[in-house]
Structure 1
Amino acid sequence: MTVYYQIEPEVAGGWGENTRADTSVHPPVVHSLHYEFEGWLGDELLESFPCFIVSEQVGQALKAANLAGFSLEQVEISFSAQFLELQGKPLPTRFNWLRITGSAGQADCGISESNLLVVSEQALDVLRRFSLNNAEVVEWKC
């Protein structure tokens, strides 16, 4: 039996002005993602509801593990003036949009009925090879 985990990632920013989304529905349907960093504690899995981004290294590791329930897509990255003033840590050079396509409890990456990220134990093992220190991770009960 596969164990699944709910992850609430670090929120290091939000939608930038170039995000294109249908906000007339819940959750919003995002067509193109622009993530603007406002701060960053160091995690390589980040969120801005209902979207997730990962460092390029995390994306490559998830693909190499042959996990299901996601695609990696392009994301535009920018930085707020506050971020540029205060940020001390260097960011990974590239990020990907971790577009979740699976159902929670069925695919390695899925979205629950309460719109939270749910991953298999195998996916969590991959994510834990990278910085995930500021995410809340709990066992998921369907």
Structure 2
Amino acid sequence: MMSVQVRLTDGPLSEMVDMPTTHGSGARIVFDGIVRPMEDGATIEGLDYEAYRPMAEQQLAIIGNDLVEKHGLLMMDIEHSYGFVPNFACSFRLVIDSKHRKEGLKAMDEFIDRLKVDVPIWKRAQ
């Protein structure tokens, strides 16, 4: 059973909770996007994310479903922040279960590239 879950969360994401492994999974890929204390050479306190939420959720799900089908993934869990996220906190998390590592790693890289282009979430340094 393929499944894609999408959540937009106000503020920083909490620590990842244990998720049950998907039946048939041989690899779990977890990517956490962390706010850096420097942006374009300047020190910042964090990032303020603005999202057009209905469309952002829809686009995240479309990308997720496309990649689950394309790479034969078993599960994808997508979470992105909106609002203020301080330095060193997590603002984006992508969890992928796949039969083998290669398709999971390819999907992770492709997801992040598409996120930056297709999803209406914008960041501003604070």
Would you say same fold, with TM above 0.5?
no
When normalised by structure 1's length, the TM-score is: 0.28
**Which structure: greater helix fraction?**
2
When normalised by structure 2's length, the TM-score is: 0.31
